[in-house]
Chain A
Amino acid sequence: MKMLKLCLVLFAVTLAAGCATTADPNRLDAFHDAAPKSVLVLPPVNMTTDVQGTTSVLATLPFYLAEKGYYVFPVNTVKTLLEYEGYYEPAEAHAAPPEQLANLFKADSILYVTIHEWTSRYLVLSTTTEVDFEYRIVNADGAELWAARQRMTYTPDNNSTGNPIFDLVAMAVTAAMERAAPNYLPLTRQANALTFYGVNGVPPGPYSPVYDEYYKRLETAE
């Protein structure tokens, strides 16, 4: 039994290491060519039954991309304007032609997020919360620039990711959020941080202090 567990762990490590080294070095080419300055964040499509999923995830997204250096269109203003334009449900906006949406706001790129999982399982001794998000950035013509998928689970009393940087990013949860969604939001923020700032994250945007250096280094590398 012990042997089997050990094998499983080794297998998982190999798998993880394999993923890290086989990452495509050219995967950001389209992003670098487009070098978007602004991001239009659409309300996430929620595939789960939790009615708070869309708005809760929407509220957490601007922070990461703006601090990365992009102009992020105000998400609640965008949500409101989309409703005025007749896109009442997130799925309707996601199904609309991207060039039409980008043109409406004059945005350089669009971030689509789909919530695949946003659940808490109440077990006998603990509660396990699971989130699973799919992220996709396209340019104003609809061509894909970057994509990621992040699945995370959280069990209270074990709220460290094992990575001190991501633990720092998981900020304190304020009272109203704690009452409504005790476990989802820290987990959502960790998923966002890992996705946007991790090894397969997005390049720095024009307001980032390292933006010029980043694109200069790309030029010399070519």
Chain B
Amino acid sequence: MTKRILLLVSLAVVLAGCAKNQGLYQWGEYQETLFVVYHEPAEKEQALKNYLEFVETGGTLTHPIAPGLFAEAGTFMLEQGDVDSAVKYYRMEYDAWPESQPMLGMLIENLEARQ
């Protein structure tokens, strides 16, 4: 019985998840995260942690993580002084979006030369 309820609940969660994703991409809490980073320093640490967890999911085939969002994770890490993580996220953006390659290729090269 409990199993059945669990199944129903997870089904509802899945369906709700689908309903939220009618566009091309997954955005997670992107706007909210930027807003917190800019205006709410007290909540910044938690918001960044949630944001990184979101981009780590990598999105799905039908709804990939929106363009730019891996690179933003990289920049958040760069601001924290974590160059290794920054490069890791910049590479994810680089691999996902050819349009980002001139900008990020240069950035990754410069960051690695600095290390």
Contacts and interface: CB of A to CB of B under 8 A. Distances in A.
A71 B100 contact: yes
A42 B39 CA distance: 19
A123 to B, nearest CB: 26
Contacts of A3: none
Contact of A75 (B25, B68, B74, B99): B68
6 contacts: A67-B23, A70-B67, A74-B71, A76-B75, A77-B71, A81-B103
Contacts of A104: 103
Contacts of B72: 74-77
At the interface, is chain B mostly helix, strand, loop or mixed?
Answer: helix
A139 interface: no
B99 A71 contact: yes
B6 to A, nearest CB: 27
B25 A76 contact: no
Interface string B27-51: 1011110111111100100010000
Interface string B92-115: 010001011011000100000000
B102 A106 contact: yes
Interface residues of B, number: 35
Interface of B: 23-25, 27, 29-32, 34-40, 43, 47, 66-69, 71-72, 74-76, 78-79, 93, 97, 99-100, 102-103, 107
A59 B30 CA distance: 8
Contact of B25 (A38, A56, A67): A67
Q: Looking at chain A, what size class is its interface with the partner chain?
A: 20 to 34
Contacts of B39: 52, 55-56, 176, 180
Given A71-B100, A73-B103, A180 B27 contact: no
A174 B32 contact: yes
A106 B94 CA distance: 14
Given A76-B34, A176-B43, 12 more contacts: A62-B68, A66-B25, A71-B67, A73-B99, A73-B100, A74-B67, A75-B68, A75-B72, A77-B71, A105-B103, A174-B29, A208-B24
